[in-house]
Amino acid sequence: MTRKFIPINQESFDLEDLDSSSIALPKNLLNGVKDQFNRPLKDLRISVTDRCNFRCTYCMPKEVFDSNYQYLPHSHLLSFEEIIKLAKNFVQLGVQKIRLTGGEPLLRKNIEFLIEQLAKIKTLDGSDLDLTLTTNGSLLERKAQSLKDAGLQRVTVSLDGLDDDVFKRMNDVDFAVSDVLKGIDKAVQIGLAPLKVNMVVKRSVNLLEITPMTSYFLGTGVTLRFIEYMDVGATNGWKMDEVVSSSEIINILSSEFEIKSLAPSSIGETAKRYSVTGKSKQAVGEIGLISSVSQAFCGDCNRARLSTEGRLYMCLFASTGFDFRSLLRGGASDELIMQKIAQIWGSRNDRYSELRGQNGAKENSTKKVEMSYIGG
């Protein structure tokens, strides 16, 4: 039987539902828009495909995303022209950074064209957009040069271990770690940098990869970021006892390296930064710790997420999306689209991780959208 996982509790609206006279844009757009906790809208994550060639257990487990899984038809996906139009509207409201995600974004045909057009957009102060992309690295060696030529500035690669058996257990499709490492090397070589590597740590699978991963990237200019295993979506079987906290990761690394805290590089940064020095003092690097379970960072979250089919989400753990594809295909003007974005962001009060933390790090029972649908 053909099955399709439908993200639940989707909210949609028609053009006639909008009373544009009651939605006011900020008088000074240079100040952008603020939500209910005075958080600005600065970062937009755009999912360009719901497909992926990996079956990572914490994101797209094979038990759900199997050979019978029905992906979105191409007509449901936002076209590149629609993505570009929305991106321009978001930038007019203060967005300074756009990250392309998936699924696996490099599976989207002709993604270089999209990057080329996005790279032409200027922020409100006339600066270049911070344009980046997150990938599993499987196609990176082949695609790196064309992505760079199109205007992509840097990439983040998801890599959960160096041991081939561990890595294959995580990606669950028998993909060799050596091919991802070749992609990382190529990206660094051509200047898609500073490059970041994200490692999701799951206690029963890759705990012992923390130190080898740190040693491998030390002194290379690559920033390794450890991510606490999160309760995203409804299919990854999240359990609190599988979470390795950032404080535990620091304790593990402190036995092998000298660790010093660094100041944040920007407001709303998800990772706490640390310098790492080898015992020989000859190799120095940087790591980041993303602690959405043990140390929630909702307080300065400035990110919105746009799904593959044009639904806007205010939080990675959201259950409700707002349908912008209908607006676009209904002929909505830029002003009307910006008014709706401003209205949605202005009413935003999401702080899922903080509330989860107040409940003793227990998962909220509310159904949430899948990470593969809106990107990480």
How does pLDDT run across 184-209, given as a tens digit for each residue?
A: 999 999 999 999 999 999 999 899 99
**Domain residue spans of the chain:** 15-374
Supply the pLDDT for residue 10: 43
d(C-alpha 39, C-alpha 299), whole Å = 8
Q: Could you tell me if 339 and 25 are in contact, meaning their C-beta atoms sit under 8 angstroms apart?
A: yes
The residue ranking higher by pLDDT, 180 or 319, is: 180
Q: How confident is the model at residue 371 (pLDDT cuts 50, 70, 90)?
A: low
Q: Could you tell me if 345 and 35 are in contact, meaning their C-beta atoms sit under 8 angstroms apart?
A: yes
pTM: predicted TM-score of the whole model, two decimal places? 0.88
Across 157-180, b (16+ Cβ under 10 Å) vs e yields bbbbbbeeebbebbbbeebebeeb
Give the domain 15-374 fold: TIM Barrel (3.20.20)
Mean pLDDT of 252-257: 95
Tokens 């060799």 locate to 176
Supply the pLDDT for residue 230: 77
The residue ranking higher by pLDDT, 323 or 269, is: 323
d(C-alpha 39, C-alpha 41), whole Å = 7
